[in-house]
């Protein structure tokens, strides 16, 4: 549903601005959390590189699992790709909300200027 911002009152615009600020904050936080998890998967995937032939015979502590290194690398790659896609989905929504917030602020500024000029002209006519 499209809303004509110029038809909203200043209190309504203020409420909309607050809502958009909260949504922007939430989306920014979500992207941050996704990136943290993504980094952990990247680090885990990179740590698998120690399991190579150059380290043959060296003592190494590894978790006992049924999957081999290639399966694990593939698992981490899938997780990293999934998180990348999620970040790519959230990013446009964040940009859209930010743009909407800027539009609301611009309309609020115009309305405030209109109110101030009305008040100034009313004061001018009262003196006459």
DSSP state of 48: G
pLDDT tens, residue by residue, 53-90 = 666 667 766 665 555 777 888 999 999 999 999 999 99
Distance CA 69, CA 73 (A): 6
d(CA 21, CA 89) in angstroms, rounded, equals 19
Neighbours of 73 (CB within 10 A): 17
- Residue 30 near residue 90 (C-beta atoms within 8 A): yes
> How confident is the model over 88-107, as pLDDT tens digits?
999 999 999 999 999 999 99
CA dist 114 and 40 (Å) reads: 52
The pTM assigned to this predicted structure is 0.71
């Amino acid at each position: 549903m499209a809303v004509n911002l110029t038809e909203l009152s200043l209190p309504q615009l203020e409420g909309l601005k607050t809502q958009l600020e909260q949504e922007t904050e939430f989306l920014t936080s979500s992207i941050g959390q996704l990136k943290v998890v993504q980094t952990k998967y990247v680090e885990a995937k990179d740590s698998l590189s120690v399991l190579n032939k150059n380290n043959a015979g060296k003592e190494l502590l590894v978790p006992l699992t049924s999957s081999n290194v290639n399966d694990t690398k593939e698992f981490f790659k899938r997780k990293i790709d999934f998180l990348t896609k999620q970040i790519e989905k959230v990013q446009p929504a964040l940009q859209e909300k930010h743009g909407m917030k800027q539009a609301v602020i611009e309309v609020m500024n115009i309305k405030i200027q209109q109110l101030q000029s009305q008040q100034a002209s009313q004061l001018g006519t009262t003196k006459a």
